[in-house]
């Protein structure tokens, strides 16, 4: 586990690099994490996906998989790959302050 100071907040990360405590997350942290992985700026469409993932996590206790984001979140596959290239489920979980989705390799 590692700890970083981001936007004035102490943030804990697991061994895979994902935030280990979703309660430490805020929108400023999301902007910084997104920029670190080359996703900038975060548009309204990015925020729609991020907010869906955070709400789904609150309800289910796990980061949503790509399939769940598509089916339940209503975001088409092509759009997800455009918003979060090369591994959208992992990248949106990272930016959303959630752990790696259990369905991801």
> Is residue 65 included in any domain, yes or no?
yes
Domain count, the chain: 1
Residue 53 bears catalytic tag: no
Task: Quote the domain boundaries for residue 81.
Answer: 2-95
Give the helix/strand (H/E) hosting 68: helix 66-71
CATH number of the domain that residue 28 is part of:
3.30.1420.10
How confident is the model over 29-63, as pLDDT tens digits? 999 999 999 999 999 999 999 999 999 999 999 99
Catalytic residue among 2, 14, 104, 105, which? 104
> Is residue 103 included in any domain, yes or no?
no
Nearest to 33 by CA among 89, 97, 100: 97
What is the per-residue DSSP string for 22-55?
GGG--HHHHHHHHHHTT--S--HHHHHHHHHHHH
Task: Look at residue 74 in the predicted model and tell me its pLDDT.
Answer: 97
Gap between the Cα atoms of 26 and 32, Å rounded: 10
Secondary structure (3-state) at 56: helix
pTM higher than the cut 0.75: yes
Task: Look at residue 104 in the predicted model and tell me its pLDDT.
Answer: 58
């Amino acid at each position: 586990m590692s700890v970083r100071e981001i936007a004035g907040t102490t943030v804990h990360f697991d061994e895979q690099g994902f935030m280990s405590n979703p309660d430490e997350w805020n929108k400023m942290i999301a902007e910084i994490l997104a920029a670190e992985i080359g996703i900038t700026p975060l548009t309204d469409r990015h925020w729609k996906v991020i907010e869906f993932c955070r709400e789904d996590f609150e309800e289910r206790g796990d980061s949503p998989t790509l399939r769940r984001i598509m089916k339940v979140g209503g975001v088409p596959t092509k759009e997800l790959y455009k918003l979060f290239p090369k591994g959208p489920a992992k990248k949106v979980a990272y930016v959303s302050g959630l752990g790696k989705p259990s369905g991801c390799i």
